[in-house]
């Protein structure tokens, strides 16, 4: 049976309603703007007031940022999880197929933002920290590069990942029925790079490691960072559910109101 132009246009409009790209585009733009602000802040204040931890300027520009970052991270994580839990869907058993498909796509977009945040935290800023330690002699564990990397960029991707996990748990039947091992490994694994910071700084205090970044005390960042590969397992679960929703009679299941 052939499809008329009107039916094709109607299907395209409904597909646009399900595939909303505005949230991911806005989120990626906000993330990139935040990264640019961080990098410019480093450019202006890292070398000028960030080399002497006993200077009053260091306390204002860097320790003040550290304290604000820790407070903002705690409040942000609690606020995001609290909001997602408070607004959770309490009737997932009767979730309509178009709504579930839309939420699955939102979850994919959330994971995309999470992946980009992981790049900036575990790759760009982490490598920048390595360069800083091989360039500048530090007199404190709270160097400008460490503050930006460990206490701003790491909590940022951890909060985004936590948000993705609770979004899936509170709005999608596939993830609400139990705990996805892949999702738990993904979120908890990369989060563990933050506690590993304490172990890392303890090692820097007792051993000269600034020029030996392949040292064992840095292996934790690699071990937990590679747990981000569990994202493939999460995506497979999402694709599996999308396949179930589409089925052989995709239009009837997907667009039936």
Given a cut of 70, is residue 7 above it in pLDDT?
Answer: no
**Residue pair 191/197 in contact by the 8 Å Cβ criterion:** no
The set of long-range contacts for 247-250, using a CB threshold of 8 Å and a minimum separation of 24, is none
Mean pLDDT across the stretch 72-81? Answer: 96
pLDDT of residue 200: 76
Residue 240 confidence (pLDDT)? 87
Over the stretch 87-143, which tens digit does the pLDDT of each residue have?
999 999 889 888 999 999 999 999 999 999 999 999 999 888 888 877 887 777 789
Contacts of 55 (CB under 8 A, 6+ apart): 49
Max avg pLDDT among 37-41, 235-239, 247-251: 37-41
**In this predicted model, what pLDDT tens digit does every residue of 159-214 receive, in sequence order?**
999 999 999 999 999 999 889 999 999 999 999 998 888 777 777 767 665 556 66
Q: What percent of the chain has pLDDT over 90?
A: 56
Domains along the chain with CATH numbers: 18-255 (1.20.1050.50)
26: pLDDT strictly greater than 50: yes
Q: Is 153 exposed, middle or buried, given 0-12, 13-18 or 19+ CB atoms closer than 10 A?
A: buried
């Amino acid at each position: 049976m052939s499809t008329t132009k009107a039916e094709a246009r109607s299907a395209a409009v409904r597909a646009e309603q399900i595939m909303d790209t505005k949230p991911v585009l806005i989120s990626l733009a906000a993330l990139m703007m935040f990264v640019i602000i961080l990098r410019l802040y480093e450019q202006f204040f890292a070398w000028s007031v960030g080399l002497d931890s006993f200077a009053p300027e260091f306390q204002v520009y860097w320790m003040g940022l550290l304290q604000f970052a820790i407070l903002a991270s705690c409040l942000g994580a609690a606020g995001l999880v609290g909001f997602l839990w408070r607004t959770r869907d309490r009737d997932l058993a009767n979730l309509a197929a178009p709504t579930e498909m839309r939420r699955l796509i939102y979850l994919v977009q959330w994971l995309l933002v999470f992946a980009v945040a992981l790049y900036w935290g575990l790759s760009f800023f982490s490598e920048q920290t390595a360069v800083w330690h091989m360039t500048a002699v530090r007199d404190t564990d709270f160097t400008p590069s460490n503050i930006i990397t460990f206490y701003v960029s790491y909590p940022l991707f951890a909060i985004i990942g936590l948000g993705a996990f609770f979004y899936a748990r509170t709005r999608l039947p596939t993830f609400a029925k139990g705990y996805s091992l892949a999702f738990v490994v993904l979120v908890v694994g990369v989060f563990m790079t933050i506690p590993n910071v304490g172990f890392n700084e303890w090692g820097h205090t007792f051993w000269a490691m600034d020029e030996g970044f392949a040292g064992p005390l840095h292996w934790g960042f690699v071990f937990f960072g590679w747990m981000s590969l569990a994202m493939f397992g999460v995506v497979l679960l999402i694709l599996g559910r999308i396949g179930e929703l589409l089925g052989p009679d995709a239009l009837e299941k997907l667009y039936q109101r």
